[in-house]
Structure 1
Amino acid sequence: MNSESPLHDVATTDELTGLLNQRGFNLLADYLMVASQRRAEPLSFALIALDDFGQINSHGGPEEGNKALVAMAGLMKNAFRDTDVISRSGGDRFAIIFADTDEAGAFIALEYLGEQVAEFNRTSGLPWQLSYSVGILEYNELVFTGRADIILRAENEMQKMKANHQKSVGH
């Protein structure tokens, strides 16, 4: 089956955002991890969770929640390179793979996303604002046992940031 197949698209694409879904992400992550080892090229993973997504949903309903997800997906598509793998991993979560990029480079890309989100918040006129927490890690086959391990550790980093965000705004 080629990548142009509609069945392939349905199986690997998130219907709401047009990003890869978890299945598509997993397939590409496994491939890119092997490729980065063979080529001795850096590979970084980032997980993003929208902050206050539950409040957007509870105040504006699922339609506003969907708008927030679509807005965030669009900002990521515009902020990151075409070679970066962007997925919606479910709910308010996104996963990104930065190919041929070390952790410092991924951090720079995420700073640029932060600038785009801030501009969106200034100009959108929506009753809610986007904010997010992120966990970033560079893949190293000597440190991580595989995709699930690096995702779990990036999730832990993201949760630490989310907890700090909640403390800083008094949730």
Structure 2
Amino acid sequence: MRLEVTRRAELAVQAITVLTERGRLKSGALAAALDTTPGFVAQVVNPLVKAGFVRSEPGPSGGYLLHPEAGRLSVLEVIEAVDGPTDTGQCVVVDRPCGGLTPCVVHQAWSRARGALLHDLANTPAASWQARLPGTDGRKTHEHSDSGHPAIG
């Protein structure tokens, strides 16, 4: 499993929150709410449209609109819609599949930690993610690790 959430996935979760709170938004308004460009918003929202979570309506009165059932999406569902499956089967220590007859030295501990993280993400509504972040008032934060990805933990 990856240890990082991509910037696109982070913005996708935030887009679900914004669309839940504000309803239909044009690309420029959603970009402003996410503090990014309309071009990047398209890259963020297109996987959500493909997954059926968001509707994209063209034209002057169009914009992005959350599918009625999407308000119940989990953070994990949104991340996987954008980044793909979280479990690649790759070891976090060596560049090979892990488990089976030759697990790495941290396999058991990592499996437990990974399970707890996935459980939390699967049970956290994407629409409420911002409200759960310590020290935020619902607006997006810019706390990132040195890699430029959101810090986890």
Relative to the length of structure 1, the TM-score reads: 0.27
Q: Which structure has more helix as a fraction of its residues?
A: 1
The structure number with the bigger radius of gyration is 2
Relative to the length of structure 2, the TM-score reads: 0.29
